[in-house]
Amino acid sequence: MYGKSKRFGFERIPILGILDGSGKVIFDNTQPVECKMTTYVQPELQRAFPKRSQYVFKDCGKEVRLDIEWLQEIEVRRSAKLLPWYGRMAMKLLGVDPFYMRYFAKADLTIIGEDKTVHESGNMIYEFNYMGKSDPRAHLK
């Protein structure tokens, strides 16, 4: 959902697009987003991952609130371990130490428009790809 690196000042770049049942885009954000995040340290990977993420997107006369809370880990993967030795060496030289998490999560979505409000809630698969090395300056909170 976002990328953070020193080169870009650890800037969050959330991307959200919502389509209706026919595939028509009903919301696509281009503006900054409000984000609150509660993290936990995954024991096997020793990295902070979002436990609960709350986003507020405002654009084109609409406000979208998205609240995601993971309920169960489905998959934990240290991606570099799947590579041959030369791939692991290249990752190390590039300063990349990728991890991948997949969760079973609950999501609540509220779309507040000028003429109506729509609320949907349900279960989802939530994936989180952690490409870089842990950096406290990135403030994953």
Residue 87 lies in a domain: yes
> What does the pLDDT look like over 11-31, one tens digit per residue?
666 778 888 889 998 888 878
pLDDT of residue 3: 46
pTM score, whole prediction: 0.74
Mean pLDDT of 97-120: 90
Q: Among 57-66, 74-83, 111-120, where is mean pLDDT lowest? A: 74-83
Judge whether 97 lies within some domain: yes
Tell me whether residue 110 is in a domain.
Answer: yes
pLDDT of residue 2: 41
Residue 1 inside a domain? The answer is: no
- 134: how many CB neighbours lie within 10 A of its CB? 14
* 44 class by beta-carbon count within 10 Å (0-12 exposed, 13-18 middle, 19+ buried): exposed
Residue 53 burial (10 A CB sphere; 0-12, 13-18, 19+): buried
Binned at pLDDT 50, 70 and 90, residue 123 comes out as very high
pLDDT at 19: 85
The predicted structure's pLDDT at residue 69: 95
As a whole-number percent, the residues of the chain with pLDDT over 70 amount to 81
Q: Which residue has the higher pLDDT, 71 or 87?
A: 71
Please check whether residue 103 lies inside any domain of the structure.
yes
Distances from the Cα of 112 to the Cα of 11, 29, 34, 124, angstroms: 26, 14, 15, 22
Q: How many domains does the chain have?
A: 1
pLDDT of residue 55: 92
92 in any annotated domain: yes
Q: What's residue 18's pLDDT?
A: 85
Most confident of the following: 29-38, 88-97, 105-114, 121-130:
105-114
Domain of 12 in residue numbering reads as 6-138
> Between these two residues, 16 and 53, which has the higher pLDDT value?
53
Three-class DSSP labels, the chain: CCCCCHHHCCCCCCCCEEECCCCCEEEECCCCEEEEEEEEEECCCCEEEEEEEEEEEEECCEEEEEEEEEEEEEEEEEHHHHCCHHHHHHHHHHCEEEEEEEEEEEEEEEEECCCCEEEEEEEEEEEEEEEECCCHHHCCC
